[in-house]
Amino acid sequence: MNRSNPASMTIRRAGGAALSPAGISSTPFWFENLLDGGGDGDLAAIRADLAPGTITKWHSHPRGQLLYALSGVGLAQVCGGEVNELRAGDAVWFAPGEKHWHGASPHGTFAYLSVQLWQDGRNVDWLEQVEQRR
């Protein structure tokens, strides 16, 4: 990937939502790329809007992930841990390589801001589907 974070102030206007690629979550969700990046240490940022019950597959991030809840009710679980409920204003840090999933509660939509760092051409490593959830 050759993209890198812009070398000067850049405003990306609202809009441009796209549906997530198949296979990374229980159902596709809408997202907007806020910042692309691609080089080691670059930032990638998205806003995601999930319908009730939509959750990601298990995955990890090579340099970690900050997830900031914008609205609704979300869920997040680290492998071997409890399912945590997330609400607007909550900020979650997933450490580099920490296996986890996140998504929307079955009872409500969930919107969040996600910030990840690139490493070796990727900012996420997808794993298997989540078999059990609350």
The one segment of 11-19, 28-36, 59-67, 125-133 that binds Mn ion by CB under 5 A: 59-67
For Mn ion, give the closer residue by CB, 54 or 65: 65
| Position of minimal CB gap to Mn ion | 65
The one segment of 30-38, 58-66, 68-76, 81-89 that binds Mn ion by CB under 5 A: 58-66
Cα dist from 54 to 4, 62, 109, whole Å: 30, 23, 9
Cβ atoms of 63 and 119 within 8 Å: the answer is yes
The one segment of 32-40, 64-72, 73-81, 83-91 that binds Mn ion by CB under 5 A: 64-72
Binding of Mn ion by 65 (CB under 5 A) = yes
Binding of Mn ion by 25 (CB under 5 A) = no
- Chain residues 98-127 in contact with Mn ion, contact rule CB under 5 A: none
What is the smallest separation between the CB atom of 117 and Mn ion, expressed in angstroms? 12
For Mn ion, give the closer residue by CB, 6 or 125: 125
Q: CA 42, CA 5: separation in Å to the nearest integer?
A: 6
**Radius of gyration (Cα) for the chain, nearest Å?**
14
Residues found in the chain = 134
Across the chain, the runs of DSSP E, i.e. the strands, are 18-19, 30-35, 43-50, 59-60, 65-78, 83-87, 91-94, 100-104, 110-117, 125-126
- Number of Cβ within a 10 Å radius of residue 78: 17
What is the smallest separation between the CB atom of 8 and Mn ion, expressed in angstroms? 29
Residues forming contacts to Mn ion in the complex (CB under 5 A) are 65
